[in-house]
Structure 1
Amino acid sequence: MAAARKATNWFAIGITAAAVVVVLVVGGVVWFANSQATSPGTLPQSSAVNTDTGAISVGSGSKTVDTYVDFMCPICNSFEQSYGPTLQQLVDDGTITLNIHPISILDRSSQGTQYSTRSASAAYCVAVDDPANIPAFVKAMYAQQPAEGTSGLDDATIASIATSAGASDAVTSCINDGTYEKYVTAMTRQTPIQSGASGVSTPTIVVNGTLLTNKTDLTGDPQKDIVARLNG
């Protein structure tokens, strides 16, 4: 009887240990799945990219202007046409560091092709290849901006725009592979646009820490909206 009881006890212990192992394995699988879902993926390693914020920096001025833009957003394009020359001049004369945050909030408007995410990822490909080409790339992307509700530009066209803006041929594989798409998604989640702030949408501008939105703060006058705030 004692031997029988001992055998039963070992059996129970074995079952308990096996159950613990199963729980640990299941927990590990769930943790891994969750970590993969929230992981930023491959980080764009470039001297011009702040991988914590997603900002691609242009210039080296002591004052800062951050722009949060979606390449499918028509109002972002209008902002580029109205404010872009002034911002570039402020970069060129050493007044500001322009921090460009390419984000993806309009994937729903590209017939399932995820154009906003793909084009934002391409911007990081260009920044990693040579950040000096970012201003030309951004300008060219807006010059060929697709309409909302279309499938957007395909990867081959985006890569052609990138190389025309000065990027090397190596950028093509980065764009085709969607190398930084997960990173774009992760950075988009933490933008002011996704924080629930009332009235915030693209384009959103931050001038020396002051949040401006296209609905209430941008009048179309860069001297009033940007320069005056920098000097104020």
Structure 2
Amino acid sequence: MIPANTAGEGGTVVVYGTDPAEDPPPGVPVLEVYADLRCPYCKRMDRALGSTMQQLADDGQLVLHYHFATFLDRELGGHGSHRALNALGAAANTGQRHFMAYLHALYRSQPRENSDGFAEERTLLGLASEVPGLRSPEFENAVLEGAFHSWVERVSRAFDESGVDSTPTVRFADRPVHVLDRDGHALEPEEFTDRLRSVAG
């Protein structure tokens, strides 16, 4: 199964801000976000800048393309990245708004990196309850049965083959944009948007 609101071969890119079946509107750049759901630095990025990215997409200033990794499962052991991404795929399948709200909920309540808390389906379903309209029998079955397991594997392989070697990595109009400072703290929204304008020229 491939979730709705995805693009690329095998649906390996989750899209927010436009119909994935169509090209982005002329002149609207793409913001590419590479992330692992267990990554604490990705949490910092999302907590500080996620709503700004979403608003820019809502305003039609850019389109968001999310590329997800599960390499922390390999490095730290466990299944949290994989199972959280399966659940996030189920959210994307219900709609772009549900996907984005659930993504924010996952990062907001992200377990410690080495605890593998996202491996527990009850945790994932509990966080889904924070997103109005997301929980349904179809969503719950997809989470509990791993309905998007094969999709998660494809998404993971696509990340591994992308040449990106760390998360978070962000690219705008095919150019890298830093979202963290040298100490690993997320930029302020104003600084981030200034950088986007600079990259866009």
Structures share fold, TM-score greater than 0.5: yes
Percent identity over paired residues:
24
The structural deviation recorded for 1:81 is 2.1
Tell me, in whole angstroms, the C-alpha distance in 1 between the residues paired with 2:198 and 2:148. 36
1:103 is aligned, of 55, 59, 69, to 69
Tell me, in whole angstroms, the C-alpha distance in 2 between the residues paired with 1:182 and 1:100. 18
Number of the residue aligned with 1:174:
142
Q: The residue matched to 2:117 in structure 1 has which SS?
A: coil
The structural deviation recorded for 1:215 is 7.6
Q: Runs in 1 of length 4+ with deviation above 3 angstroms?
A: 108-111, 193-197, 211-219
Point out which structure has higher relative CO (alpha carbons under 8 A, 6+ apart). Answer: 2
Check whether the contact 2:32–2:65 (CA below 8 A) recurs between aligned residues: yes
Q: Deviations over 1:98-145 (max 9, x none)?
A: 112232111136652x10011111111011122221111111111110
Distance of aligned partners of 1:129 and 1:163 in 2 relative to their CA distance in 1, 3 Å threshold: farther
The structural deviation recorded for 1:216 is 8.6
With normalisation by structure 2, the TM-score equals 0.80
Q: The residue matched to 2:71 in structure 1 has which SS?
A: coil
CA RMSD after TM alignment: 2.5
Q: The residue matched to 2:146 in structure 1 has which SS?
A: coil
Gaps of 5+ in 2: 19-24
Distance of aligned partners of 1:54 and 1:213 in 2 relative to their CA distance in 1, 3 Å threshold: farther
Gaps of 5+ in 1: 1-41
Q: Say yes or no: does 1:116 pair with 2:81.
A: yes
Tell me, in whole angstroms, the C-alpha distance in 2 between the residues paired with 1:104 and 1:78. 18
Tell me, in whole angstroms, the C-alpha distance in 2 between the residues paired with 1:126 and 1:120. 10
Q: The residue matched to 2:101 in structure 1 has which SS?
A: helix
Q: The residue matched to 1:227 in structure 2 has which SS?
A: helix
Number of the residue aligned with 1:227:
197
Figure out how many residues of one structure are paired with residues of the other and give that number.
Answer: 184
